[in-house]
Amino acid sequence: MTKLAIAILALVLLPLSAAAFELKTVRVTPRIYTLVGDLGPRSYDNHALNNTMGFIVTGKGVVLIDSGASAQGAKLIERAIASVSKQPVKWVINTGTQDHRWLGNGYFAARGAQIIALARTVKAQKTYADSHMRRLKTLLRDRLAGTQPLYAQNPLAGNRAALVLGGIKLQIIWPGGGHFPDDAIIWVPSEKTVFTGDLVFHDRMLGIQSDGASVVRDWARSFKVMEALKPAHVVPGHGSPGDLARARRDTGDYLDWLLTNLEPAVNDMEDIGDVVKRLADAPFKYLKNYDGLHRKNVNLTYLQLEAE
């Protein structure tokens, strides 16, 4: 192959390589769509978008639920939305603390969007901002260019807030602690849809934070708060959308399983190493990332219960 042919081939393949990662757009209701990222870990290739976000199309603009981990990731989100609606993103609601829930805020704010979050969520975002940015600088390198932490200018006080955006009624609810202690869920009664943020994982195993942010007992209680809404549609923080039974199977049942199996082990002062080994074979192997997370989750849950 001549040098000219190689150069032409490289130019042809360059856009394909740059566009290799795309969010999967899934319709939930005529108004609501999800944007499903990778099920594996954050990476340079996936722009740290190993999570699920969503949006609501109204007659007056788009309500985006979570904005991605970077300005470039936010641009991918904008492009995915444009494949469904010509409406601009007018509002961005942050459900949580993790980087891919809110570090794309600046991109959308620069284009006129209002950023919305509970005050407790904003406070937590500020606590984690520096560590998240340091991690993303290592991971995303040049793809973090143009990204700066930007928070809701008028955070909403209290644990619940009712909003009407584009004629759609929404509720922002703090259900209690979860993957992070100050994350919220978004309830859209007219659509019988809940955006759970990191409270619910579908398709993949949830991960308990080793820094103590994820308190398993609180997480299990919070799941039941979400469950009491009786949604027809659940947009999880990770994985594809589903119904309440699926959320219960992939997340709620696992949290309950951890508590049910580890409480007696702690009470009996069973050796933690023996417990981890004994409980290694759990009925959740169908979930992606089981091998990398389950033993760690058992270990951390034991330590949490032991410290109570």
pLDDT of residue 253: 99
Q: What is the pLDDT of residue 19?
A: 52
CA distances from 177 to 11, 38, 214, 220 (A): 49, 25, 7, 9
pLDDT for 18 equals: 45
Q: Provide the CB-side half-sphere exposure for 1 (13 A, CA).
A: 8
Contact 18, 47 (CB under 8 A): no
Report yes or no: 133 and 149 within 8 Å, Cβ to Cβ. Answer: yes
One pLDDT digit (tens) per residue for the chain, 308 residues: 454 444 444 434 444 444 579 999 999 999 999 999 999 999 999 999 999 999 999 999 999 999 999 999 999 999 999 999 999 999 999 999 999 999 999 999 999 999 999 999 999 999 999 999 999 999 999 999 999 999 999 999 999 999 999 999 999 999 999 999 999 999 999 999 999 999 999 999 999 999 999 999 999 999 999 999 999 999 999 999 999 999 999 999 999 999 999 999 999 999 999 999 999 999 999 999 999 999 999 999 999 999 99
pTM (two decimals): 0.93
17-244: what CATH class? Answer: alpha beta
Q: pLDDT of 18-72, one tens digit each?
A: 457 999 999 999 999 999 999 999 999 999 999 999 999 999 999 999 999 999 9
Q: Distance between the two ends of the chain, CA-based, in angstroms?
A: 68
pLDDT for 14 equals 41
pLDDT at 4: 40
